């Protein structure tokens, strides 16, 4: 679709979804409707119930009239997605409060292992806010009433989508008359507050660079007239992210970047994760003057299990070493690590004392209140009990021990039943915190110092492959991997020539922090392979590519890509 197309020749597809709840991250779609608009007339309608593979809450059934029995035999999302893709092809995706519908569509498509990033989107709520700033309510019902549109079958997908389509048509007609908006580019600019390049006095080279941005993940960087990089950023969608820089509502720092920038270059990555990693390292390498964040290495903390002790116990450290101890994490703050250690010490009967106290060989008050098994006594049964408790701690840190969480859940339910809501909320916050933090270590199912895994990131534009090896990070085809260390570490591992003395660098730990943070939010797009489970590289690659390793084997005869980003 050309952005200078007249509005009359543009196809719009209006979407509306009904869902099991409000959070796209945790809830699912139960009904979807699409209404196609051409020449400012409704020409086609599509709707379908969808089996969400979970119960529909009663209040949702009361609101929409959709019950569990209605969706029991309905198609699942992956079965209707081809039809949805066909309807959206070469059109502008529209909706009322579109971000809500879009977030659910993105989540459903991510579950299928793909990305959903429409090239152009239009929200009737945003248009209404600009056209009718004094209207008391701009939700769909009141807005339709204001425009003399009769809304039918509210809170059902097709009824709301059809009403939204009629609202869209009337809004566009008003914008054509009142604002002289004639092209789709002008309409999209009006919605976002982005002015045309002419009105912003943007340099022609910068305009052309912007129009060449793809709707793909990657990093972008602005250069001044001396060809110096002045700012580096990353994006899940390069075009959508950079578009915000040309908004009149942009802050003074962004406006300063645009005034100084003459060119805009970009590098496409396979996934958002490799864009995040490339951005963080590029900022440290190039030191652009307008970047304030990511120029240094932030705090990183680990929970350390002191295994070199006769009765191992937990400690918190910001140092990582291959000293025979086990390291879990990593955590952004010392307080986060302390909260987890405090919870473990209160939940599992493991040693908490230092060596001086331990060597006294007499039990302390923690033994009396059953918070410790007193391994300091040196009695076999006490030592064995401590070992068993420590194994449970490992299972908890690996995300396998649900007993501790169940106890917290029961306590939360008890406080709630007693109407002690503040205490129940405190427990809820603790559960949420523990789940998020434990998810980081549970991804690897073993301590960081022992982890030797290959991680596959599923992405429509090409999968990414990372190796986490004893705290070090290696990325296939990475921007800064000129020596092809990804292949080298695999060759060394399977040939038994690994150098175990090399500690992770600050850059490795920074990458590890970024990787773990991203993985816990995108677990449905991740596959983990333990190197020890495969006899060699070829067997591993065959598993990755369904017995076809050609995509992963590096072709040394191929010319390396030439980046205008001067590393």
| Cα–Cα distance for residue pair 294/464, rounded to 1 Å | 23
Answer with the residue of higher pLDDT: 408 or 350: 350
Q: By the 8 A CB rule, do 51 and 72 touch?
A: yes
CATH number of 197-286: 3.40.1440.10
Closest CA to 454 of 501, 487, 500, 480: 487
Q: What is the mean pLDDT of the chain?
A: 85
Comparing C-alpha atoms, which of 11, 19, 156 is closest to residue 77? Answer: 19
Write down the domain spans for the chain: 7-192, 197-286, 301-442, 452-544
CATH code for the part of the protein at 7-192? 3.30.420.10
Closest CA to 377 of 311, 438, 455: 311
b/e sequence 232-248, b meaning 16+ C-beta within 10 Å: bbbbbbbbbbbbebbbe
Lowest mean pLDDT among 227-236, 283-292, 330-339: 330-339
Q: What is the pLDDT of residue 266?
A: 92
Per residue in 347-402, pLDDT (tens digit) is: 888 898 888 888 888 888 888 888 898 999 989 999 999 999 999 888 888 877 67
The least confident of 213-222, 276-285, 397-406, 425-434 is: 397-406
| Three-state DSSP string of 263-332 | EEEEEECCCHHHHHHHHHHHHHHHCCCCCCCCCCCCCCEEEEECCCCCCCCEEEECCCCCCCCEEEEEEC
- Give the separation between CA 349 and CA 313, rounded to whole angstroms: 11
Nearest to 478 by CA among 449, 457, 495, 498: 457
Give the model's pLDDT for residue 67: 93
Concatenated DSSP letters for 503-526? Answer: PPPHHHHHHHHHHHHHHHH-GGGE
Question: Mean of the pLDDT values across residues 549-565?
Answer: 36
Overall residue count recorded for the chain in this entry:
567
Write out the DSSP string of 239-272: HHHHHGGG-TT--HHHHHHHHH--EEEEEE-SSH
Q: If we measure between CA atoms, which residue out of 33, 3, 179 comes closest to residue 94?
A: 33
- Provide the percentage of residues in the chain whose pLDDT is more than 90: 37
Look at residues 327, 390, 10 and name the one whose alpha carbon lies nearest to residue 185: 10
Lowest average pLDDT, out of 81-85, 91-95, 413-417, 559-563, goes to 559-563
Position 419 confidence tier, pLDDT thresholds 50, 70, 90: confident
The residues, any chain, with a CB within 8 Å of residue 107's CB and separated by 6 or more, are 24, 25
Residue 558 has pLDDT above 50, yes or no: no
**Mean pLDDT of the 526-549 span:** 81
Structure tokens at 490: 């695999």
Q: Is the pTM of this model over 0.85?
A: no
Catalytic residues: 155
Indicate the SS3 state at residue 105.
helix
- pLDDT-based confidence at 546, cuts 50/70/90? low
DSSP 415: H
- Highest mean pLDDT out of 137-146, 162-171, 208-217, 342-351: 162-171
The residue with greater pLDDT, 407 or 87, is 87
Of 458 and 59, the structure prediction assigns the larger pLDDT to 458
For tokens 């198609």, what's the residue? 75
> Residue 137: is its pLDDT beyond 60?
yes
| Spatial separation of the C-alpha atoms in residues 540 and 60, rounded to whole Å | 46
Nearest to 146 by CA among 120, 119, 128: 128
Burial of 172 (0-12, 13-18, 19+ CB in 10 A): buried
Contacts of 202 (CB under 8 A, 6+ apart): 246, 258
Which of 268, 313, 327, 292 lies closest to 508, judged by CA?
A: 327
Instruction: Please answer whether residues 163 and 152 qualify as being in contact, where contact means their C-beta atoms are separated by less than 8 angstroms.
Output: yes
pLDDT in tens, 224-243: 999 999 999 999 888 888 88
Q: Band the pLDDT of 197: cuts 50, 70, 90.
A: low
Between these two residues, 446 and 197, which has the higher pLDDT value? 446
Q: Read off φ and ψ for residue 428, nearest 5 degrees.
A: -60, -45
Q: What is the DSSP-derived secondary structure letter of residue 383?
A: H
Rounded Cα distance between 286 and 384, Å, is 54
DSSP 486: H
Report DSSP letters for 53-83, one per residue: SSPPPHHHHHHH---HHHHTTSPPHHHHHHH
Which pLDDT does position 564 carry in this prediction?
41
Q: How far is residue 375's CA from residue 384's CA, in Å, rounded to a whole number?
A: 8
β-strand 92-95 against 218-223: which pairing, if any? unpaired
The owner of tokens 């779609």 is 29
């Amino acid at each position: 679709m050309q952005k200078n197309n007249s509005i009359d020749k543009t196809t719009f597809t209006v979407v509306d979804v009904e869902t099991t709840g409000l959070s796209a991250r945790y809830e699912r779609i139960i009904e979807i409707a699409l209404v196609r608009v051409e020449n400012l007339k409704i020409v086609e309608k599509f709707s379908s119930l969808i089996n969400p593979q979970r119960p529909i809450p009663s209040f949702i059934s009361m609101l929409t009239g959709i019950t569990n029995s209605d969706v029991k035999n309905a198609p699942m999302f992956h079965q209707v997605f081809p039809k949805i893709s066909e309807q959206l092809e070469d059109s502008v995706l529209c909706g009322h409060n579109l971000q809500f519908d879009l977030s659910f569509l993105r989540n459903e498509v991510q579950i299928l292992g793909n990305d959903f990033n429409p090239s152009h989107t239009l929200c009737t709520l945003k248009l209404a806010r600009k056209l009718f700033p004094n209207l008391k309510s701009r939700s769909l019902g009141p807005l339709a009433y204001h425009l003399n549109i009769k809304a039918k079958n509210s809170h059902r997908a097709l009824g709301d989508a059809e009403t939204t389509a009629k609202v869209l048509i009337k809004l566009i007609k008003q914008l054509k008359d009142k604002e002289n908006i004639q092209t789709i580019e002008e309409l999209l600019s009006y919605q976002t507050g982005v002015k045309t390049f002419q009105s912003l006095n943007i340099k022609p080279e910068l305009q052309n660079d912007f129009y060449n941005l793809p709707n793909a993940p990657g990093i972008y960087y602005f250069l001044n007239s001396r060809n110096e990089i002045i700012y580096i950023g990353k994006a899940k969608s390069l075009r959508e992210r950079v578009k915000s820089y040309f908004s009149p509502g942009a802050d003074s720092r962004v406006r300063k970047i645009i005034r100084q920038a003459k060119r805009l270059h970009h590098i496409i990555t396979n996934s958002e994760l490799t864009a995040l990693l490339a951005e963080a390292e590029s900022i440290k390498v190039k030191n652009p003057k307008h970047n304030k964040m990511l120029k240094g290495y932030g705090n990183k903390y680990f929970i350390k299990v002191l295994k070199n002790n006769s009765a191992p116990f937990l400690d918190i450290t910001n140092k990582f070493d291959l000293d025979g101890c086990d390291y879990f994490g990593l955590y952004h703050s010392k307080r986060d690590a302390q909260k987890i250690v405090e919870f473990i010490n209160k939940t599992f009967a493991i040693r908490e004392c230092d060596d001086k106290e331990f060597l006294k060989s007499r039990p302390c008050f923690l033994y009396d209140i059953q918070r410790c098994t007193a391994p300091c006594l040196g009695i076999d049964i006490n030592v064995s009990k401590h070992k068993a408790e420590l194994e449970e701690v490992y299972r908890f840190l690996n995300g396998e021990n649900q007993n501790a969480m169940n106890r917290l859940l029961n306590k939360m339910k008890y406080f709630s039943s007693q109407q002690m809501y503040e205490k129940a909320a405190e427990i809820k916050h603790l559960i949420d915190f523990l789940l998020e933090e434990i998810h980081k270590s549970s991804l690897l199912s073993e301590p960081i110092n022992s982890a030797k895994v290959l991680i596959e990131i599923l992405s429509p534009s090409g999968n990414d492959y990372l190796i986490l090896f004893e705290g070090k990070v290696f990325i296939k085809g990475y921007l800064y991997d000129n020596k092809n260390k990804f292949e080298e570490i695999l060759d060394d591992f399977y040939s038994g020539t690994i150098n175990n003395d090399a500690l992770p660098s600050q850059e490795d730990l920074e990458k590890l922090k970024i990787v773990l943070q991203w993985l816990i939010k995108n677990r449905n797009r991740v596959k983990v392979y333990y190197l020890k489970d495969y006899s060699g590289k070829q067997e591993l690659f065959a598993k990755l590519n369904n017995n076809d390793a050609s995509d992963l084997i590096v072709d040394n005869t191929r010319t390396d890509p030439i980046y205008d980003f001067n590393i």
